[in-house]
Amino acid sequence: ALEYLKTSVRKLGDNELYLVGHSKGGNMAMSSALDAPEYIFKKIQRVVNFDGPGFRYEQFDSKKYQKLKKKLVNYIPSGSIVGTLLENNNYSVVKSNALAWNQHYPETWEMYGEYFVNSKLSQLSSELHERTTINVRHLNKKKIHDSFETLIAQISKEHKEDLKFSLEELYNLYKNLKQMDPEVGENFEIVIDALLKSAKEIKPKILKKKNK
């Protein structure tokens, strides 16, 4: 991401930069700004992260992040599963018209004119944030990297119809959680519980529409 940013600046020569990304792309936008040379960082006007995960504690607690925070805007849906992973803050919570996992997709986020409709972070998302911050600080870098890569790979699949997505991807995620380090994997069990509950909520709504 940093090399892409440097190459883009060389080619475009813009004096004002806006770095934007969704999901893992949001994290890459933040990461490239965090490590950008000073001459590039000065050109960055805003870094916008749409439901992308945060950083490890060492990065989050650094002086570089304190500088970045002044330019950073985070948007997450009320039921966020991705954007609440790891260390981050100053969220603007957006209302979504989807359920559970499907809230991750920005096309489900509600707007009034050119503004997002505000909402509150769900209890599930708040708990997930806590489980992936305080509870993993003692783990080494490789364990955290491998585990979160596994999780993000499953979350970032191409968008599918609600019920099919929830049930099929739930099974794949469950299999991959078994491959994680046990210390990390147990912290993601709350995600499985949330998706099971969501599938129960989605099915009656789909059946009701078919009956009409």
pLDDT tens figures, 163-178? 344 556 556 666 666 6
**Residue labelled with tokens 């890459």:** 28
Predicted pLDDT of residue 14: 73
- For residues 171 and 196, the answer to whether their CB atoms sit within 8 Å is no
DSSP 8-state symbol, 100: G
3-state secondary structure of 118: strand
Q: Kindly report the pTM of this predicted structure.
A: 0.72
pLDDT at 103 over 70: yes
What is the C-alpha to C-alpha distance for residues 65 and 30, in angstroms, rounded to an integer?
9
H or E element at residue 195? helix 189-211
pLDDT score for 122: 85
Sequence-distant (6+) residues with CB within 8 A of 91 are 74, 75, 76, 83, 121
